Structure 1
Amino acid sequence: MTVTAGKKREKLDRLAELAARDDEQGVSLWKEAFRRLRRNPAAIVGAVILTLFVLVAVIGPFLVPHPPEAQLWKGEVRLGDFPGPRAENWFGTDQLGRDEFSRMIVGARQTLLVGVVSTLIGLAIGSLIGGVAGAAAGLGGRWGRAVDNVLMRFIDMLLAMPSLLLAISIAALLGAGLTTVMIAVGVVSVPVFARLLRGSMIAQSNSDYVLAATSLGVKKPKIALTHVVPNSLAPVIVQATLTLATAIIEAAALSFLGLGNNDASIPEWGVMLADAQSYLDSAPRLAVLPALAIIVTALGFTLLGEAMREALDPKLRK
């Protein structure tokens, strides 16, 4: 019994030594955030939803049972009466006799494409404007503050307009189309990224490492690019995840208003939802299926984005 107690004591001492070693070495911000994400149920649920969505969008179109544009069952469609779910059509057919299941799977790729590209557009332009404004305001002196004021007044003009109204205006000017939807939704998200990166860079510009680099004679543009910007990107990356959810919803709204893809043969959830409005009484599933897909996908991005924000927030660490 004494031997067993000695082994337990030795094991506990070893664990304490390892814990002390870990505390001495420290853990990076991203590694600690990843550890917290693995313990967050909301993050796990969001990651599972997004993984399934991406797999369906990337692999699904190669495995669909029927071509999404083929009107194979058009002869069975009768004045608002469409074949419902059955063995050859798991989700039934639409008003033109096309397989609804195949169209939902292929539509996931178009929805993912619109969401990712529009978010990247907003992230690139917003980060460029916010990075220049943040560097000018935090490190640029008198002329830097003037540049920051000009850029931020432009961002304030974009923020003054409701996001959906701004997206509709841009789409109406450029004409309906999938590329137009990407540009319109991307422009709407520019002010969010710009102000977020600017604020983060201004906060970082007062840090000790910036003062140390300045005292060593490092030029301010180099400090901004190599030190301030990398340390300011965490909240921007989190916001990009949340913006993906918003982009999918806004793209669906533009498609619903008839400003989306002109090619009706290419399925997209927003277009499918708009086409189903005339058949809500006879075939409500045509509207319910794409609406549920949009809601669940946006929920996945939102859950993961909020979990990432909490994991990276130093005030919420325990």
Structure 2
Amino acid sequence: MTITERARKKAEKLDRLGELSAARDEERGVSLWQEAFRRLRRNPAAIVGSVVLGLFVLVAVVGPLFVPYGPTDTIGIREGLVKSGQGIIPGSSADHWLGFDHQGRDEFSRLVVGARQTLLVGVVSTLIGLAIGALVGGIAGAAAGLGGRWGRWLDTGLMRIVDMLLALPSLLLAVSIAALLGASLTTVMIAVGVVSVPVFARLLRGSMIAQSNTDYVLAATSLGVRRSKIALSHVLPNSLAPVIVQATLTLATAIIEAAALSFLGLGNPDSAVPEWGVMLADAQPYLGIRPALAIYPAVAIIITALGFTLLGEAMREALDPKLRK
């Protein structure tokens, strides 16, 4: 037997071993999340969204430690470079990459530091909506699917409250809550969080009701397992996938709505604290002089929201068999 024939037989043997290993892997199967992660790694939209979000989180967490100037330092006015009353607001330079704002503060430093405030508002408001919505939706879903007659009454009462919240436009509801509580960063978080409660509640309730009609729930009920244990140990964990995906999408909406409230003057009353929505509002009187002051935070908001949206849509495709490509 020649060396070439030996090498060919060895390669065929390795191929057969690889096929057997792959067959064993298929027999073992993978979990829903493992399969979703495999799909995400092959999805260009998920990769782009992950990169954008990774850069955003890195800038928000680490960036403020390395900014060249303090976000509240009025360097331009002290040096006589900025005279906003006379229409003089210098643009980019070697020392100030994005120039100054109308009060002589370094625009790049404020944009980087403002990312942390924007991330904080988006994450906290989403967590508020997720926690309250999951609580309401979980109770309603368990009551509707496993609770009998009284459970259906409880589900009906909770869902009518949720329907009333859904009937109101989200921004109008957020503005109303923020106006009642007073202008502050905490108010923005609460207002944006309350707006997202109905979405999470409806989604989790529907998912739990769908799970309640599956075979494993019927089997557990037939074996005498308590309904509360079935709901908490089986139905609820298997219903969380669409809620987690929705949380990713809601983060993008939360960032935009928080910026809108800050733009309307319902956010942090101290405009010296940089936040992208506040920076947009501050730039409005100077659009004719230096429109870049509004463009920088607007582009930052758009790119960040796009990153969350791309990742959320890719996760939804990976987790939903009907949407898989």
Unpaired runs of 5+ in structure 1?
A: none
Instruction: Summarize deviations over 1:105-130 as a string: whole Å, max 9, x none.
Output: 00000000000000000000000000
Query: AA paired with 1:128?
Result: L
1:51-98 CA-to-partner distances (Å, cap 9, x unmatched) read 000000000111110010011111322222112111221100000000
Q: CA separation in 2, counterparts of 1:109 and 1:304?
A: 20
Q: Do structure 1's residue 36 and structure 2's residue 39 form an aligned pair? A: yes
Once the two structures are TM-superposed, the CA of residue 5 in structure 1 deviates from its matched residue by 2.8
Q: Is the 8 A contact 2:248 2:311 kept in 1?
A: yes
Equivalent residue, structure 2, for 1:116: 123
Structure 1 CA distance for aligned equivalents of residues 298 and 265 of structure 2? 16
Counterpart residue number, 1:89: 96
User: 1:316 Cα deviation (Å)?
Assistant: 3.7
Shift of 1:211: 1.2
Q: Match for 2:292 among 285, 289, 294? A: 285
2:7 aligns to what? 4
266-275 vs 207-216, greater mean Cα deviation: 207-216
**Contact between 2:130 and 2:197, CA under 8 Å: does it hold in 1?**
yes
User: How big is the alpha-carbon RMSD for the aligned residues of Structure 1 and Structure 2?
Assistant: 0.9
Write the distance in 2 (CA, Å) between the matches of 1:179 and 1:124.
Answer: 16
Partner of 1:27: 30
CA deviations on 1:154-179 (whole Å, 9 max, x unpaired) are: 00000000000000011111111100
1:255-291 deviations in Å (ceiling 9; x for gaps) = 1111111111110000000110111111011000000
1:243 maps to which of 250, 256, 265:
250
The code of the aligned residue for 2:232 comes to: L
**1:216 shift after superposition:** 1.6
Aligned to 2:66: 63
Match of 2:174 in 1: 167
Aligned twin of 1:150:
157
What is the TM-score with the length of structure 2 in the denominator? 0.96
Question: 2:211 aligned with 1:208, yes or no?
Answer: no
Identity %: 75
The separation in 2 between residues aligned to 1:317 and 1:191, in whole angstroms, is 27
One-letter code aligned to 1:71:
T
Distance 1:68 1:27 in 2: 49
Q: Distance in 1 between matches of 2:125 and 2:217?
A: 34
Distance 1:41 1:294 in 2: 21
Deviations 1:212-254 (A, max 9, x none): 1111211101110111100000000000000000000000011
1:140 aligns to what? 147
Distance in 2 between residues matched to 1:124 and 1:316, nearest whole Å = 27
Of 107-116 and 206-215, deviating more is 206-215
Q: Would the aligned equivalents of 2:316 and 2:323 in 1 still touch at CA under 8 Å?
A: no
Amino acid at match of 2:82: V
Work out whether residues 80 and 95 of structure 1, in 8 Å CA contact, stay in contact via their aligned partners in 2.
no
Question: TM-score normalised to the size of structure 1?
Answer: 0.98
Task: State the shift of 1:4 in Å.
Answer: 2.9
Deviation at 1:317, TM superposition (A): 4.2
Count of residue correspondences = 318
Deviation (angstroms), 1:15: 1.3
Q: How far apart are 1:3 and its partner, in Å? A: 2.1
Which residue number in structure 1 is paired with residue 263 of structure 2? 256
Q: Would you say 1:77 and 2:62 are equivalent positions?
A: no
The alignment status of 1:51 with 2:54, answered yes or no, reads yes
Q: Distance in 2 between matches of 1:187 and 1:110?
A: 19
**Does the alignment pair 1:126 with 2:133?**
yes
Structure-1 separation of matches of 2:76 and 2:12? 74
Alpha-carbon separation, structure 2, partners of 1:176 and 1:27:
49
Amino acid at match of 1:76: L
* Whole-angstrom CA distance in 2 between matches of 1:296 and 1:290: 10
What residue is the counterpart of 2:229 in the other structure? 222
Aligned to 1:300: 307
Unmatched tracts of structure 2, length 5 or more? none
